[in-house]
């Protein structure tokens, strides 16, 4: 992509010509799909398979260790949402056994302890990391005999990523297991299945992975596990393929809306990334119950992208001040003097707001409070964008702390979270009010989003007139090199993850599916901007993942 400075009507604009979409009209073909017959057939097959899985799951002969392994498989295979009630009941009982010391640590070993720890914490249960002291020697270090238990080390490495502040033993566990697991690969000492799982977790620990991508990967490798259950595997494949049909239809309708709106022509300075926008929405929740949130969420994230590029890549400060006032008042008359492309963006935002209202009314839900919070969140985002535009125009570098404070809003995460959850099953005025007050978990997720984005994109953005990123702010405030700034920012990202983990244990008045949605936002953000790359802007980097989730079904052998 080129980095010209465009002059239109004597106005100088710092303009980037982004590369076109890598998808074109690829997904529109799914718009004409009649899902009724396909899904009904799949639903019938799935219902039969589901009952078979339930029999395995509920078998009284399963030990606690076996039950934990089944729950882990169900979650990794993406089918645990069918058995949430049963899983919750089993984990409650396991939590009780740990509390009353009925089951000793020695009985299950490291894998058992680490797996129980991770599964319980994921569900919001308080379980002390002190249970891992049993695997230390008299010198206070992890016992070297642990090294021989590769499965146990793998489980401990995965569990340690749910650490909270002050858990030094889990910090030690991460360093210890990472070093020893890394030494095991490429040695031919592991089974193909275990080797694949260790490589995967070292690249991306399960706790920080996007659930749908983790599922797609695990289904493929699970077949290599000699002890795998064909019933679980077949059920997972059927379920994945059925949901994929639904996701394809959703994306087709969003793509059709984007094409009919002709944004690439009418808003030429903006990124054409509607497929990538839906990917974010899908990452937040893949289940059927979230269909309305995804349908609107995909469009919303695409609209946010238009808004972002309007402030970042087109408008002057004077134009953007008027534009921000128009969003505050929801008043089109305030932008009559602005370029047509900016009017298109404003009308699109207002049109989406009206679509949300219709969607809420169709579902017989009270809409006023949801709409008002979305409107307020849009204005807050516009204000944050305007602050950054003024900083950029004035070549002003704020302190790192001031930048992060504004960046929590400009990350777009408060708006996208309010909208997604506002359209979900647990939507309520009290819940949206809580989110709007920027609780610690939202601040942590937003900070991760802002900082990860900045680290990946700041070198490219600084080639033109652009607001200073977190990297430049950090360098100036602490008089440090870019490399040291990266280290400090990555440390802040890790602190954000510990804040998230802690909040998920303490926010027992917030539905677990809502908290999981918030965690998923942190996951998709880190994934999008990992390795100092921006997969959203550079769609080629996301292409294979989108193909895996939204184009290629999983092959199901007939004998299965």
User: Where among 158, 190, 208 does a domain terminate?
Assistant: 208
How far apart (Å, rounded) are the C-alpha atoms in residues 286 and 281?
A: 8
Residues 327 and 180 in one domain: no
Considering the domain architecture, whether residues 155 and 277 belong to the same structural domain is answered as no
Q: Which residues contact 334 (CB under 8 A, 6 or more apart)?
A: 322, 325, 326
Alpha carbon distance 535, 537 (integer Å): 6
Q: Are residues 159 and 197 in the same domain?
A: yes
Q: Is 112 in the same domain as 247?
A: no
SS3 state of residue 7: strand
Domain contains 217: no
Cβ–Cβ < 8 Å for 112, 65: yes
Confirm if 276 and 55 have CB atoms less than 8 A apart. no
Of 164, 193, 208, the residue that ends a domain is: 208
CA angle 281, 283, 289 (to 5 degrees): 70
Say how many residues make up the chain: 560
Question: CATH number of the domain that 82 lies in?
Answer: 1.50.10.130
Give domain status of residue 328, yes or no.
yes
Q: What is the Cα–Cα distance from 416 to 414, expressed in whole angstroms? A: 6
- Let me know if residue 268 belongs to a domain: yes
10 Å Cβ neighbour count for 469?
26
What is the number of structural domains in the chain?
2
HSE on the CB side for 437, CA within 13 Å? 8
We report the CATH number of the domain holding residue 392 as 1.10.600.10
Among the listed residues 87, 56, 61, 93, the one whose alpha carbon sits nearest the alpha carbon of residue 72? 87
Q: Is residue 510 part of a domain?
A: yes
Please indicate, yes or no, if residue 40 is contained in any of the structural domains. Answer: no
Assess contact for 30 and 248: CB atoms under 8 A. yes
What distance in Å separates the CA atoms of residue 73 and residue 128, rounded to the nearest whole number? Answer: 24
Query: Is residue 269 domain-shared with residue 204, that is, in the same domain?
Result: no
Q: What is the pLDDT of residue 35?
A: 64
Cβ atoms of residues 426 and 290 within 8 Å = no
Give the C-alpha separation, 235 to 156, whole Å: 28
- What's the domain range around 434? 236-550
Do 281 and 374 sit in the same domain of this protein? yes
Query: In this structure, what is the dihedral angle of CA atoms 392, 395, 398, 404, given to the nearest 10 degrees?
Result: 20
- Residue 33, sorted as left (phi over 0), alpha (psi -120 to 50) or beta, turns out to be beta
Together in a domain, 257 and 186:
no
Question: Residue 389's pLDDT is what?
Answer: 93
Output the six-digit token pair for 96: 């009780």
Q: Which residues contact 521 (CB under 8 A, 6 or more apart)?
A: 283, 284, 413, 416, 417, 445, 449
Q: Which of 167, 192, 208 is the last residue of a domain?
A: 208
Query: Does residue 511 share a domain with residue 458?
Result: yes
d(CA 263, CA 268): 7
**8 sits in which H/E element:** strand 5-8
Same domain, 298 and 415: yes
Residue 123 shares a structural domain with residue 243: no
Residue 26 within a domain:
no
Q: Distance between CA 483 and CA 203 in Å, rounded?
A: 22
**Domain-embedded: residue 8:** no
Shared domain for 403 and 500, answered yes or no, is yes
Indicate if 437 and 524 belong to the same structural domain. yes
Cα separation, 297 vs 285, in Å, equals 11
Contacts of 171 by beta carbon, 8 Å cutoff, 6+ apart: 160, 163
| Helix, strand, coil distribution of the chain in percent, nearest 5 | 70, 0, 25
Q: Tell me which residues of the chain have a pLDDT lower than 70.
A: 1-10, 14, 35-39, 60, 101-107, 364-366, 458-466, 558-560
Note whether 542 and 535 are within 8 A (CB): yes
Rounded Cα gap, residues 304 and 103, in angstroms: 51
Q: pTM for the whole thing?
A: 0.93
Name the burial class of residue 19, with classes exposed (0-12), middle (13-18) and buried (19+) by CB atoms within 10 angstroms of its CB: middle
Contacts of 317 (CB under 8 A, 6+ apart): 386, 389, 390, 393
Q: What angle do CA 335, 338, 343 make, to 5 degrees?
A: 65
DSSP code of residue 558: T
d(CA 473, CA 480): 10
Residue 234 backbone zone (phi > 0: left; psi -120 to 50: alpha; other: beta): alpha
Q: State how far the Cα of 287 lies from the Cα of 521, in Å rounded to an integer.
A: 15
> Do residues 234 and 49 make contact, with C-beta atoms less than 8 angstroms apart?
yes
Q: Residue 457: its pLDDT value, please?
A: 76
- What b/e readout covers 226-256, taking b as 16+ CB neighbours within 10 angstroms? eeebeebbbbbbbbbbbbbbbbbbbbbbbbb
Distances from the Cα of 118 to the Cα of 1, 100, 129, 158, angstroms: 44, 19, 10, 8
Q: Is residue 215 part of a domain?
A: no
Alpha carbon dihedral 192, 204, 129, 58, in 10-degree steps, equals: -60
pLDDT, position 58: 81
Both tokens of 332, joined, read 């089109």
pLDDT at 36: 64
């Amino acid at each position: 992509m080129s980095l010209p400075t465009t002059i239109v009507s004597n106005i100088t604009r710092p303009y980037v010509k982004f590369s076109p979409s890598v998808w074109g009209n690829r997904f529109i073909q799914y718009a004409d799909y009649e899902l009724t017959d396909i899904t009904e057939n799949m639903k019938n097959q799935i219902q039969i398979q589901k009952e078979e899985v339930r029999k395995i799951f509920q078998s009284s002969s399963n030990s606690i260790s076996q039950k934990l392994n089944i729950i882990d498989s169900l979650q990794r295979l993406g089918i645990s949402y069918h058995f949430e009630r049963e899983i919750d009941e089993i984990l409650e009982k396991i939590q009780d056994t740990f509390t009353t010391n009925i089951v000793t640590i020695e009985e299950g070993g490291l894998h058992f302890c680490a797996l129980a720890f991770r599964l319980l914490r994921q569900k919001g249960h308080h379980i002390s990391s002190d249970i891992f002291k049993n695997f230390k020697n008299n010198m206070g270090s992890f016992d070297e005999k642990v090294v021989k238990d590769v499965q146990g080390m793998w489980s401990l490495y995965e569990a340690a990523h749910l650490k909270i502040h002050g858990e030094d033993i889990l910090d030690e566990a991460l360093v210890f297991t990472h070093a020893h697991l890394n030494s095991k690969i490429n040695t031919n000492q592991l089974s193909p299945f275990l080797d694949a799982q260790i490589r995967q977790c070292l690249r991306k620990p399960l706790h920080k992975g996007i659930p749908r991508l983790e599922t797609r990967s695990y289904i493929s490798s699970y077949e290599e596990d000699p002890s795998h259950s064909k019933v679980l595997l077949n059920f997972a494949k059927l379920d994945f393929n059925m949901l994929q049909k639904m996701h394809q239809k959703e994306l087709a309708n969003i793509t059709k809306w984007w094409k009919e709106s002709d944004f690439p022509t009418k808003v030429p300075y903006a990124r054409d990334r509607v497929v990538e926008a839906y990917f974010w929405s899908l990452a937040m929740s893949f289940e059927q119950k979230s269909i309305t949130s995804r349908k609107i969420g995909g469009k919303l994230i695409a609209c946010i992208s238009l808004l972002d590029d309007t402030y970042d890549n087109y408008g002057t400060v004077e134009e953007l001040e008027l534009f921000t006032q128009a969003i505050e008042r929801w008043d089109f008359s305030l932008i009559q003097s602005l370029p047509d492309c900016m009017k298109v963006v404003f009308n699109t935002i207002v049109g989406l707001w009206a679509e949300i209202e219709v969607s809420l009314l169709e579902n017989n839900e009270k809409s006023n409070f949801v709409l008002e919070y979305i409107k307020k969140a849009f204005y807050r985002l516009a204000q944050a964008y305007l602050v950054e535009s003024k900083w950029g125009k004035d070549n002003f570098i704020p302190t790192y702390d001031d930048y992060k404070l504004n960046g929590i809003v400009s990350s777009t995460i408060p708006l996208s979270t309010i909208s997604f959850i506002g359209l979900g099953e647990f939507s309520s005025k009290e819940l949206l009010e809580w989110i709007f007050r920027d609780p610690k978990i939202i601040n942590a997720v937003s900070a991760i989003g802002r900082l990860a984005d900045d680290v990946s994109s700041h070198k490219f953005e600084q080639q033109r007139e652009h607001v200073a990123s977190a990297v430049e702010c950090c360098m100036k405030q602490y008089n440090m090199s870019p490399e040291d700034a990266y280290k400090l920012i990555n440390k802040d990202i890790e602190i954000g993850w510990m804040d998230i983990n802690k909040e998920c244990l303490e926010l027992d008045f917030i539905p677990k599916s809502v908290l999981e949605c918030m965690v998923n936002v942190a996951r998709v953000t880190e994934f999008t901007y990992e390795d100092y790359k921006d997969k959203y802007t550079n769609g080629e980097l996301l292409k294979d993942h989108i193909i895996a989730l939204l184009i290629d079904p999983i092959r199901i052998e007939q004998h299965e």
